[in-house]
Amino acid sequence: MTKVYLSAQFPEVALTKLRDNGLDVESYTGAGLISHAELLSKVATADYLITTLSTMVDQEIIDAAPKLKLIANFGAGFNNIDSAYAKSKGIPVTNTPKVSTNAVAELTISLILDLSHRVIEGDQQMRTTGFPGWAPLYFLGHEIAGKTLGIVGLGNIGQEVARKATALGMTVTYFTPHQLSPEAEQQLNVTYQPFDALVKSSDFISINAPLTPETKHQFDAAVLGEMKATACLINVGRGPIIDETALLKALQNNEIGGAALDVYENEPNVDQAFTQLKNVVLTPHIGNATVEARNAMADIVASNVVLMAQGQTPKYVVNA
């Protein structure tokens, strides 16, 4: 019987679709993330692998799976997979684009609001030292209307962030390697800026870019030093785009106003020094952690396996 191995526990949508199409399904059910050693063992007999972006699928894993016909990644990113090596073995790699766009954009806006209105900080105070009473200068934050949001990476998610930010009264600028057409810019109500200019002029900077050799440590000490002293940095893209050592120093020295991180340079490990700072909001990579988005992602990975099993071409192949 054709075997599908799932390297994590996935929404029931995926399991139901796979089983309804006569596939033998086995899932990792252990605590935490699957180990490299266990994945090596499990893929040995697998025809299809459905995995998460937190699980590395390297050459060793691929070589250990002689029957493998497809690697379906549960996520829009796929830098956890050696997709070039998979291609050399004739194994397509797929991802789940677009369906998490709204969820990640909503989180981006919520992090901007959290930083501006000090929501998390206020919640922590209520749970510890308490509320001393209303006063005119007590616990002041800032309104985001009228502020400038600079978006780094204007793909599907960046564009949705722009729409939502504009609706909230923000001025939106953006940087991306390939500038949009004037018509697209007008439709989104955004203005292109070179990277250096965007960094210097933004009140908030939202990283919505993929991790590439060009974007790794794009936000280093020099770039952070060019930001406004009151500006806040939001990262829902990929952790290594920020040099976290430099960011931590900038936050500790109040060189920038604050940061909100949903992704981390050495994920899932997080430098505990960040947890001691009041000008930081930390979330555990929950950008697309909504029932709606995760069910849609589950449907895509399962559907791609079914398509392959039926001799058809899967959707969203990233290493064609």
Show me where the domains of the chain are located. 3-99+291-309, 101-282
Residue 1 has pLDDT above 90, yes or no: no
Can you name the CATH fold of 3-99+291-309?
Rossmann fold (3.40.50)
User: pLDDT over 70 for what percent of the chain?
Assistant: 100
SS (H, E, C) the chain: CCEEEECCCCCHHHHHHHHHCCCEEEECCCCCCCCHHHHHHHHCCCCEEEEECCCCECHHHHHCCCCCCEEEEECCCCCCECHHHHHHCCCCEECCCCCCHHHHHHHHHHHHHHHHHCHHHHHHHHHCCCCCCCCCCCCCCCCCCCCEEEEECCCHHHHHHHHHHHHCCCEEEEECCCCCCHHHHHHHCEEECCHHHHHHHCCEEEECCCCCCCCCCCECHHHHHHCCCCCEEEECCCHHHECHHHHHHHHHCCCCCEEEECCCCECCECCHHHHHCCCEEECCCCCCCCHHHHHHHHHHHHHHHHHHHCCCCCCCECCC
Given pLDDT bands bounded at 50, 70 and 90, which one contains residue 114?
very high
Residues 101-282: name the CATH superfamily: NAD(P)-binding Rossmann-like Domain (3.40.50.720)
Mean pLDDT throughout 277-297? 96
pLDDT at position 79 is 87
Which tens digits make up the pLDDT trace of 208-243? 999 999 999 999 999 999 999 999 999 999 999 999
Residue 168 has pLDDT above 90, yes or no: yes
Given pLDDT bands bounded at 50, 70 and 90, which one contains residue 77?
confident
Question: Does 3-99+291-309 match 101-282 in CATH topology?
Answer: yes
pTM: 0.91
Q: Which residues are catalytic?
A: 238, 267, 285
